[in-house]
Structure 1
Amino acid sequence: MVISCCFICVFAVLIHKVSLQETVEAVIGASVLLPCSSTEHDLKLQDTDVSWRHNGSKIVCDLTPYSNLLELQDPQYQNRIETFPLEYEKGNFSIKLTDLTHTDAGKYTCYITPSDEQKTVQLIINESTAEKGNTTTDQENQGEESRPDIVEPSTLWVLVCISLIGVIVLIIICLRKNISRCLMSSARSVGSDAQEVMNPCTY
Structure 2
Amino acid sequence: MYLKNWGNIMFCYIFVFAALIDKASLLVTVWGFVGGSVVLPCSSDDYEHKLQDVDVSWRHNGSKNVCDLIPHSNLTKTQDVRYKNRTETFPEEYNQRNFSIKLSNLTHADAGRYICFITPSDEMNTVELIINEKLEPVTENANKTIDQKNLEEIKPDSLEKSWLWILIGLPILVLLIIVIIFRRKISSCLTSGKHVRGSEVHEVSPGPGYKSVTADGL
* TM-score interval for Structure 1 and Structure 2 normalised by the shorter chain: 0.5 to 0.7
Q: Distance in 1 between matches of 2:84 and 2:95?
A: 25
Confirm whether residue 44 of structure 1 aligns to residue 58 of structure 2: no
- Check if 1:18 corresponds to 2:27: no
Match of 1:106 among 93, 109, 112: 112
Partner residue of 2:41?
Answer: 35
Q: Distance between the aligned counterparts of 2:14 and 2:61, measured in 1?
A: 31
1:128 aligned partner: 134
Count residues in correspondence: 139
Superposed, which structure 2 residues align to 1:82-93 within 5 Å?
A: 82-93=88-99
CA distance in 2, matches of 1:8, 1:54: 28
The residue aligned with 2:76 is 69
Cα distance in structure 2, aligned partners of 1:98 and 1:9: 40
Q: Distance in 2 between matches of 1:15 and 1:55?
A: 19
Q: Is the 8 A contact 1:54 1:106 kept in 2?
A: yes
Structure 2: how far apart are the matches of 1:103 and 1:23? 16
1:7 is displaced (CA, Å) by 6.9
The TM-score normalised by the length of structure 1 is 0.59
- Alignment TM-score, normalising by the size of structure 2: 0.55
2:133 and 2:16 mapped to 1: Cα distance? 44
Contact 1:43 1:91 in 2 (8 A): no
Match of 1:60 among 62, 66, 84: 66
Q: Separation in 1 of the partners of 2:129 and 2:29?
A: 6
CA distance in 2 between counterparts of 1:129 and 1:46 reads 42
| CA–CA separation in structure 1 for the residues paired with 2:16 and 2:135 | 49
**Residue type matched to 1:123 in 2?**
L
Residues 1:10 and 1:105: Cα distance change in structure 2 (over 3 Å): closer
Amino acid in the other structure paired with 1:68:
L
1:51 match: secondary structure:
strand
What is the deviation of 1:69?
Answer: 2.9
Cα distance change on mapping 1:98 and 1:42 into 2, 3 Å: same
SS at match of 2:36: coil
- 1:61 touches 1:68 (CA, 8 Å); kept in 2? no
Q: CA deviation at 1:16?
A: 2.1
- Larger mean CA deviation between 35-44 and 22-31 belongs to 35-44
What stretches of structure 2 of length at least 5 have no aligned partner? Answer: 1-6, 157-218
Q: Which structure 1 residue ranges, 5 or more long, are not aligned? A: 151-203
